[in-house]
Copies of this chain bind each other. A is one copy, B any other.
Amino acid sequence: MTDGPDWRPVKRVRAFEEVVAQIEEQIASGRLRAGDKLPGERALAAALGVGRPSVREAMRVLEAMGVLVANPGSGPEAGAILAGSAGPALTGVLGLHLGLANFAVDDVVETRLLIESWAVEGAARHAGEADLDRLHAIVAAMDDPDLSPDRFNELDTEFHTTIAELSGNALVTTFMRALRDTVRRHQRRAVAELGPDTGALRADHRAILAAIVARDPRAAADAVAAHLRRAYPQVSRVREDAPSPEN
């Protein structure tokens, strides 16, 4: 394994990478926290001994990762502010690599099934009364007969996101939402609008909620699996976890 000189191809370090690295370090060490505001681009460039374009490229990278937002103008809203949720960044990454065929739509849906099944089990175990009320309200709101498709989608997102939150794992929530948005954006581009009629989807939601209310994690997971299979019928690969009749 360790035969021959075996050089590494020399690490090319670009200026903006060093800028990103330093900001990352400030974040990791806790010297920079969420809500903090970075110095202005000009000041930062001077402090780091690089040109403003390098600082700007670093900003773009951090912005793409959902770490900061940049606002022009003056006042408390202006400048580069550390904030951010990882969600949109993840959605973007997943969407791009979906387009590059680095993985398939089936993979995405299957992963969402895996994650959301787990999340709903947690929800069935730990949901409090207030949580259940929120879910009931969402389900009820989706029964409005003259609901715009966009609004319907918003409520659907809220339903699933709330369930994910009840798992108590913020990362799972983020993943779940990113996976859902990725699939949705992808099929928006290819196929027509909502495939299955909303009636079946709303019935699924009620079944999921009923299982959560009944504190039955297994039934809740099954209901979620059935729901996703109905919502994404074009996805062929849907595996079972426990009840595998094979072998």
- Chain A residues in the interface with B (C-beta under 8 A): 1, 16, 24, 27-28, 30, 33-34, 53, 56-57, 60-67, 82, 84-86, 89-90, 92-97, 99-104, 107-108, 110-111, 114-115, 118, 121-122, 125, 151, 169-172, 174-175, 189, 215, 217-218, 239, 241-242, 244, 246-247
Contacts and interface: CB of A to CB of B under 8 A. Distances in A.
Nearest to A24: B96
15 contacts: A16-B60, A27-B99, A27-B100, A28-B95, A33-B100, A33-B101, A34-B102, A65-B92, A65-B93, A84-B97, A86-B94, A94-B171, A110-B172, A118-B241, A121-B241
A67 B96 contact: yes
A151 to B, nearest CB: 7
- The quantity of this chain's copies bound in the complex is 2
A169 B62 CA distance: 29
Nearest to A67: B96
B125 A66 contact: no
B169 A110 contact: yes
